[in-house]
Amino acid sequence: MRSSDKLASAFDTIAKEGESSKDEKKQDIHDRIRIQTASQFRGTRPWKVLVEGRSGSGKSDFIATMPEWYIANGVDPDDILILVADLDDGIAPLFEQERTPYDLQDRIEIAVCTNFDDWLDVYEYFLDRLKRWKEDRGVMGTFAIDNLGKMWEWARSSYAEKSYGMTMRDLLLMRRRAALESNKRNLPVFDQMVDYGVINPYHNDPLEQMKLLSNQYFNYVWTAPVKEYDGRLVTQGQWENEFRVDFRVQKYREGEGDDAKFLADLVKFRGQSRGFSRLTNPTFQRFTKAIARIRELEAQERRVKGLTFKKPEVAPELQAIPKPIQSEDLTFETTEVAEVDISLPPEGGAFGDLASDMGPVNPKETQAKIDKQNEEGDLEW
C-alpha cells in the first residue's frame, strides 16, 4: 500500500474512532441526565414546601401528618420513608400526641442536630438513604428540615469559630466593644462582601443540591419561624430560602386552649394563579387537596375560555400530584384578586352529586350553585 493510501486509511480510522467516541459520550449523557419531553414532566414534580409561622402555630405538624398523605395516595405503609433533620428538638412531642398514628410512627426517622457540622453529616446520610429508597422501592420519600432559622444561625456561628477562632457570642461582644470605643452605635458582625461571600454558599449549597436532586428522588418540607420586627412578620433564616420551594404556607393559630383554631394561608405558589386563605386544620393531606382543587378550578376556567388541550395520561406514581378533588370536599369563593378562600366541610361532610353535574362552568358560578343547593336542602353536612 502506498504511503498516501496508508495515511488516508489512518485518517479514516481516526475519524471513525472519533464518531464512535461521540456516540459513546452521547449515550453516557443520556444515561446520566434525565431528559424528558415537557408532557412527561406533568404530574411528576415532587412537593417542595416551606411552612412558616410563630411558635405553636403547627409548623412541625405539617411533617407529622405526612403519612396520612402517603396512605391516601395508595402507598403501602412499608414503602413510606420520611427523614427529619430536627434542628429545634421540637417535633418529638407531636408523636406523643399521636399526630402520626402509632402504627405509622416507625415510618418517620428523626435525627436531632445540635450544630452545623451535625446538620451537614445528617444531610449527606439522608441524601444517600433517599436516593437508594427511590431506586429500590420506586417511591419518593420525604426530606424534612425543622427549622431553617436555626440552620442559618448555626451556619454563621460555625463560620465565626472556623474563621475568627471564637464563638458567635464572643464575636458579638468584640464588635460591641469596638463600637463603644469608637463612639459608634453599632458595628456589623460580618462584612457584607468578605464574610457573607463565604457564609452564604456555606449555608446554601446543601439546600441548592436538595432542590435539584429532589426532582428525581424525594419531596421536601422545611419549616421556619417568624418574628415581628417594626410591626411586620419576618421569616427567619437565609433570605433566599423562599426561592427554593414551590409553595410557601403561613400557619397561624386563633384563640387559646379548647377554642384554639389552626389555620393556614398559601402565600407563594407555582403552577397556578391563586393562593388560598384560612385553610382549616391544615394537615399536609388537606393542603395537597386544596392545591389540587384550585388547579381543577383553574382548568375549568381555561375550558370556558377555550384554552385547554387534551391532557396526557399521568402514571399513577407517588410523586404525581394527587388527583383533583371534587366539589364535595372543598368549596371556593373566587375574588377579584389572585386568591381563593377555601373552607373544608366538617369531617364526613359532602356536597352530594354536585361534582358530577358541574361540567366546565365558569368558576364564579360554582359557589352560587353550591349555596343554592345548600338553601334548598340538597347538601348534607
What is the CATH classification number for the domain harbouring 230? 3.40.50.300
Question: What is the per-residue pLDDT across 86-129, written as a single tens digit (0 to 9) for each?
Answer: 998 878 777 777 778 888 889 999 999 999 999 999 999 999 99
Distance CA 94, CA 189 (A): 37
Better pLDDT: 18 or 102: 102
Range with lowest mean pLDDT among 91-100, 279-288, 307-316:
307-316
Give residue 305's pLDDT: 59
Give residue 94's pLDDT: 76
Angle between helices 148-159 and 116-137 (to 10 degrees): 130
Question: What is the per-residue pLDDT across 227-240, written as a single tens digit (0 to 9) for each?
Answer: 888 888 889 999 99
Please give the tally of structural domains in the chain.
1
Give residue 340's pLDDT: 41
Give residue 10's pLDDT: 64
Distance CA 348, CA 344 (A): 10
In a domain, 271, yes or no: no
Better pLDDT: 206 or 271: 206
Give residue 359's pLDDT: 32
In a domain, 224, yes or no: yes
In a domain, 151, yes or no: yes
In a domain, 74, yes or no: yes
Q: What pTM did the predictor assign?
A: 0.72
> Can you give the residue range of the structural domain that contains 108?
39-245
In a domain, 25, yes or no: no
In a domain, 320, yes or no: no
The alpha-helical segments, DSSP class H, found in the chain are 3-32, 59-64, 66-72, 92-96, 116-137, 148-159, 168-181, 196-217, 284-304, 354-358, 363-375
Residue 24 pLDDT exceeds 80: no
Distance CA 254, CA 263 (A): 8
In a domain, 21, yes or no: no
Give residue 36's pLDDT: 65
